Amino acid sequence: MAAPHSIDALCQQARQAFAERNWEKARNAYQQALGLKSDVPDIHQGLATVCFQMRDLAGAAHHFKEVTRLDPRRAGAYINLGAVYNLLDQLDEALPVLRRGIQLDSHRAEGYYNLGLVYRRKGQTDLAIQAYREAIRVNPSMSDAHYNLANLYLEKQQFRQAIVHYKEALELRPSWEKAERGLAQTEAALAASESPAAPETGLPGPSANTPVPDSLQPQGLDPDRMVDPNVHGVLLTNLHKATIESETHGRQFLEILESEIEPAIKELSSCLLYPDSPVSELDQCVQKFESAIQNMRTAQRSLQNSIEKIRTIGDRLLKA
């Protein structure tokens, strides 16, 4: 039977705590095990996963990186590290580790999927499409890959391809509101793009003295009116793009609050609670806090700009 403080016993405690979603207890057990032996990749793997659950992305990145150092053939660790780098907005660091993970195991759909996320954020649309297509080839049931691929096809105005993948996403996740909305807007945009121009009849228009029938008199805006794809298709496409952009900025704003603001506040509070802390340490905490605040403000402005864009397009749609 294992001793109470053996590595095996501590790892078992950590796994049990993880199953109970007691992240703090799991982390403490893994850290104790790491104190007994620091070069066990499975301990770093477990600790990285716990850190990720606790939104400690920097800690997760550190321990996933340790796994790749100690076990350079473990494909999943590279892919997980790349996913965390993406969340940390370290895109240039994410690319090589994701590629390495895929090189080690080309049958991991999540590797291609995360590669698509990075390429999209870098504005490399064609590479992102290729990555998502590979993810679907490996795992045709990956609904998020179908949805993201559909969004990219919509941005490129390749409406038929977008419709195919929105429908695939809905087949896998029925009643998925975002996919339903994307499908409706894409079908409207396709209808608008294929609508022929109104033919000329050669008939004279009404003269200034010709009374206009009541049925053709201008009416007030009907709030219950149906949107005409032939008229509103372009606006709907732009609205969808703005909505996706707003969603991305909102997610980035929340990530900064969780991964930068919260840790910075904790560290600064700790320094202030202990007056004997070195001045240099306090200065570092203040600088980290100010940097986090600046990043938050930048993300907030981006989110506000995207929301304003949605409002502007919405007003144009109502007046069209």
Higher-scoring residue by pLDDT: 194, 164: 164
Q: What is the pLDDT of residues 283-293, one digit of tens each?
A: 777 777 788 78
Q: What is the mean pLDDT of residues 166-190?
A: 94
Is residue 211's pLDDT more than 60?
A: no
Helix axes 75-87, 41-53, angle to 10 degrees: 30
Tell whether the model's pLDDT for residue 181 goes beyond 70.
yes
Mean pLDDT of the chain: 82
More confident residue, 160 or 218: 160
Given this model, what pLDDT does residue 309 score? Answer: 79
Least confident of 6-10, 40-44, 212-216, 274-278: 212-216
CA 244/CA 237 separation, integer angstroms: 11
DSSP characters over 263-288 = HHHHHHHHHHH-TTS-HHHHHHHHHH
- Report which of residues 54 and 217 the model is more confident about: 54
Three-class SS state of 135? helix
Q: What is the pLDDT of residue 206?
A: 40
Q: Flag the least confident range among 41-45, 193-197, 300-304.
A: 193-197
Q: What is the mean pLDDT of residues 32-40?
A: 92
Nearest CA among 159, 168, 97, 96 for reference residue 132: 168
pLDDT for the residue 240: 65
> Average of pLDDT values for 177-200?
82
CA angle 75, 251, 28 (to 5 degrees): 55
- Read off the DSSP letter of residue 6: S
* Amino acid at the residue 147: Y
Mean pLDDT, rounded, for 57-64: 95
**CATH class of the domain defined by 9-158:** mainly alpha
pLDDT at 296: 82
Q: Is the predicted pLDDT of residue 72 greater than 60, yes or no? A: yes
Please check the confidence at residue 118 and state whether its pLDDT lies above 80: yes
pLDDT for residue 144: 96
Whether the per-residue pLDDT at 154 is higher than 90: the answer is yes
Q: How far is CA 308 from the centre of its chain?
A: 21
pLDDT at 232: 56
What is the average pLDDT across 62-88?
95
User: Which is more confidently placed, 3 or 280?
Assistant: 280
- Is 37 or 212 the better-scoring residue by pLDDT? 37
Cβ atoms of 131 and 115 within 8 Å: the answer is yes
Q: Which residues contact 118 (CB under 8 A, 6 or more apart)?
A: 82, 86, 91, 94, 95, 98
Average confidence (pLDDT) over 80-96? 95
pTM of the model: 0.61
Share of the chain above pLDDT 70, in %: 79
In angstroms, rounded to a whole number, what is the distance separating the alpha carbons of residues 271 and 116?
41
Query: In this predicted model, what pLDDT tens digit does every residue of 212-241 receive, in sequence order?
Result: 333 333 333 344 444 455 555 666 667 667
Q: pLDDT digits over 236-269, tens only?
A: 667 667 777 777 777 777 777 777 787 777 676 6
Question: What is the rounded average pLDDT of the residues 85-114?
Answer: 95
Q: What is the pLDDT of residue 68?
A: 96
